[in-house]
Amino acid sequence: MKHITVFAALAALSVSAYSAPSISIGALYEYLEPGKSTLLKRVRNGGDSTAFVKVSVNEIVYEGDAPPTEKPVQPVVHGKGHQANTLVASPARLIVPAGGMQATRLLAMGERDKERYFRVRFSPVMPEQGDDFGVSAEQAEQYKESLSAGFNILAGYGAVMVVRPAKVHYQTELQDGATTYTVHNKGNSIIVLDGFRDCKTVGSECATPTISHVLPQRSRVFEKEAGHHYRFELVEGDRKRAVEFGK
């Protein structure tokens, strides 16, 4: 059945001599709440050519004030009653037809003693024989020839997966100073400052809204400008509240 599906997807490429895949993955941030271990991530292809998508996972590691680093996830450990603290994508290879959708399941394994962060990349690739897509050398060559002339860069996307700890504790403190406004995250899970807007008090001229994430035991400082009004929505898991300040 797999080979029939692959053949049908490749056969559809002959409809257009010049085509290209174009994938989208929806939200760029996903949150795995306590009590849940899996999340379904959908990949859509809005292009006019089949997309062969490789899914890879890296763990994002924060140490002190140093910039975050990424490392490949630990392999799953079987036996002795435990699993590695990791995130698994299954399947890790997706064949998404033009105008269609496929999904991969993200499974968090191991202890949830602290919050962990993962970058899940969805990368369209040129299929090759023996790379788990189940295509022959002839089918792979047919696919390459079907793409638009000069089209050799397949755009991929990455999503950040936040795996919250088993017991989440939110403790956000807001400090309104003379020239700054500080959001302290003293809890053990990431918080979101959604739709932050900087507006002039007189009139309605506002900057483009932005979104910020504040890691546990870290702070976000906003510089205040005279005559400006600021507001955002503080998101703590499924709890939301509006925050406003000005100078």
pLDDT at 7: 45
Element (DSSP H or E) covering residue 181: strand 180-185
pLDDT band per the 50, 70, 90 thresholds, residue 17: very low
Q: How far apart are CA 127 and CA 121, in angstroms?
A: 17
pLDDT at 221 over 50: yes
Is there a single domain that holds both residue 35 and residue 157? yes
* Residues of the domain holding 72: 19-163
115 touches 163 (CB < 8 A): yes
Is there a single domain that holds both residue 49 and residue 107? yes
pLDDT at 118: 97
49-63, 129-143, 172-186, 209-223: segment of lowest average pLDDT:
129-143
Q: Which of 182, 183, 232, 184 is nearest to 207 (CA)?
A: 232
pLDDT at 204: 76
- Can you give the CATH number for the domain in which 209 is found? 2.60.40.10
Tally of domains in the chain: 2
Is there a single domain that holds both residue 183 and residue 153? no
